[in-house]
């Protein structure tokens, strides 16, 4: 009987955790970019085409949320996941574009903060019709990083 109660409790907890959403500004109406992502894995480039990225400014335009949709970070990864990087500080440049940078932030994935990986040295540029950035996804357990770059254009 105790085993059944524990199993039901564990199942309920899994359902609640999987429903947790990142506290993000991103919605279905947020601008969506489509582009190319490269992850350096074991010294080799792992390329993905047609990667979707959504970006949304916070209310006072001092930060953006960046959502990478359905991505794989290594060839053997069995599923594709959404990863959101929250509250990335932005600065508007004289040409109207936005530069951004953050270091040491915890991304959101699979329903909550995903602290097995850390986003280091994220820097990039966002314009009216394109986004380019690079970062290092650092595996805190394996103590190794995966340099990642993205370049995309606004999708209609």
Domain boundaries, the chain: 2-154
CATH of 2-154, one of 2.60.40, 2.40.50, 2.40.160, 2.115.10: 2.40.160
- Measured over the CA atoms of residue 119, residue 32, residue 109 and residue 84, the dihedral's sign is positive
111 vs 22: CA distance, rounded Å: 7
Write the Ramachandran bin of 28: left for phi over 0, alpha for psi from -120 to 50, otherwise beta: alpha
Tens of pLDDT along the chain (156 residues)? 434 333 333 333 343 344 454 577 899 899 999 999 999 998 999 999 999 999 999 999 999 999 999 998 888 889 999 999 999 999 999 999 999 999 999 999 989 999 999 999 999 999 999 999 999 999 999 999 999 999 999 997
Instruction: Pick the closest to residue 155 from 120, 124, 131 (CA basis).
Output: 131
């Amino acid at each position: 009987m105790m085993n059944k109660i524990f199993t039901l409790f564990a199942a309920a907890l899994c359902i609640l955790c999987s429903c947790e959403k990142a506290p993000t500004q991103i919605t279905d109406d947020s601008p969506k970019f489509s582009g190319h992502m490269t992850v350096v894995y074991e010294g080799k480039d792992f390329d993905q085409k047609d990667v979707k990225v959504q970006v949304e400014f916070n209310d006072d335009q001092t930060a953006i949320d960046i959502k990478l949709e359905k991505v794989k970070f290594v060839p053997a990864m069995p599923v594709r996941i959404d990863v959101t990087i929250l509250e990335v500080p932005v600065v508007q440049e004289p040409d109207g574009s936005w530069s951004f940078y953050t270091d040491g932030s915890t991304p959101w994935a699979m329903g909550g903060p995903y602290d097995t990986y850390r986003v280091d040295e994220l820097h990039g540029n966002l314009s009216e019709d394109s986004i380019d950035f690079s970062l290092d996804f650092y595996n805190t357990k394996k103590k190794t990083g995966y340099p990642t770059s993205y370049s995309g254009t606004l999708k209609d």
